[in-house]
């Protein structure tokens, strides 16, 4: 029997960014160097497949340092932590390794610099996200104000009479939505200080640009990622905003909404920055079992970014 044809367009770039790759390597190399178990405070990245694979190798994921035995290494997640976390670890004489993405660390240093310069700080981000908690925790409570929407930016009132303001952003936001928030703040406060270099990370920007490229060519789009992954959820929003009618977030091939895609001849596939290529292959294999598929890659840009590992793990071979 002749099978129906489907064209799959794979976004490039997609999947792991350099910060995620580094964080996973940190856990894997720590397991090699120190042996299991190695504890990790919170999910190292927001992807259950990645977390479960690391658990199989001996990583133990916990919510707080109080859950970590005193004599084992603990790793802080890629999203970054408040200053109180390493301070607590030091007070307890724990051995810890910080897997914070260097681009998140850059935002942390900016917060400290703005505070030193006497500027009131606005953080554009999503309340409750681990990265936002970590960034706001670089300074004392109340010293960074969170703005989530254009309406928030319109209603924000500075505490300082002199109006010395600066803004930072979460690294995984919607580029377009953040641009609108920044425009509102800049209109209201023309002298507000911007980051010296864009805070939204290269990987977030590139993956959103790539999904825009896909959206104009597809009937449906699948974003592979976790519902608690900010960058994955932003990809879903971007694809919908461009006008693609059938956009779904899937964690695994088992989540593919086949009924919703029934009339779609060309399906775009992308993956959030914490989703491994293995899951992309799993999804394309699932399509190949049902349809006669043609797979093409749509390259928007190429990435060649890498980040160094912490010194204590640089020479560890897996």
User: Reduced to 3 states, what is the DSSP secondary structure of residue 255?
Assistant: helix
Q: Is 198 a known active-site residue?
A: no
Tell me the DSSP string of 129-159: -HHHHHHHTTS-TTSEEEE-SHHHHHH---S
Give the separation between CA 195 and CA 168, rounded to whole angstroms: 6
Write the CB contacts of 238 (distance below 8 Å, at least 6 apart in sequence). 174, 176, 208, 211, 212, 215
Three-state DSSP at 191 gives coil
CB 214 within 8 A of CB 239: yes
For 227, the token pair is 């519902």
CB atoms within 10 A of CB 266: 16
Q: Which of 131, 154, 277, 282 is catalytic?
A: 131
Q: Would you name the residues annotated as active-site residues?
A: 131
């Amino acid at each position: 029997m002749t099978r129906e044809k489907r064209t799959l367009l794979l976004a490039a770039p997609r999947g792991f960014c350099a910060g995620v790759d580094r964080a996973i390597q940190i856990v894997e190399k720590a397991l090699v160097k120190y042996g299991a178990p190695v504890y990790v405070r919170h999910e190292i990245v927001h992807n259950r497949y990645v977390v479960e694979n690391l658990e199989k190798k001996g990583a133990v994921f916990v919510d707080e340092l109080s859950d970590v035995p005193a004599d084992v290494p603990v790793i802080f997640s890629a999203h970054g932590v408040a200053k109180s976390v390493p301070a607590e670890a030091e007070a307890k004489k724990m051995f810890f390794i910080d897997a914070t993405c260097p681009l998140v660390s850059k935002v942390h240093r900016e917060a400290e610099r703005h505070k030193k310069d006497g500027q009131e700080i606005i953080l554009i981000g999503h309340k409750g996200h681990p990265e936002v908690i970590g960034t706001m925790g670089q300074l004392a409570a109340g010293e960074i104000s969170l703005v989530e929407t254009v309406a928030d930016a319109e209603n924000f009132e500075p505490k300082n009479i002199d109006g010395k303001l600066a803004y930072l952003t979460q690294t995984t936001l919607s580029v377009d939505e953040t641009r609108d928030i920044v425009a509102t703040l800049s209109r209201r406060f023309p002298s507000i200080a911007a980051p010296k270099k864009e805070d939204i990370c290269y990987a977030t920007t590139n993956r959103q640009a790539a999904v825009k490229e896909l959206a104009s060519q597809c009937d449906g789009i699948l974003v592979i990622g976790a519902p608690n992954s900010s960058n994955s959820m932003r990809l879903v929003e971007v694809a919908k905003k461009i006008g693609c009618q059938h956009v779904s977030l899937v964690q695994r091939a088992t989540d593919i909404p086949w009924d919703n895609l029934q009339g779609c001849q060309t399906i775009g596939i992308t993956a959030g920055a914490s989703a491994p290529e293995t899951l992309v292959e799993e999804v394309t294999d699932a399509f190949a079992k049902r349809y006669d598929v043609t797979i093409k890659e749509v390259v928007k840009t190429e990435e060649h970014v890498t980040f160094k590992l912490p010194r204590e793990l640089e020479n560890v071979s897996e």
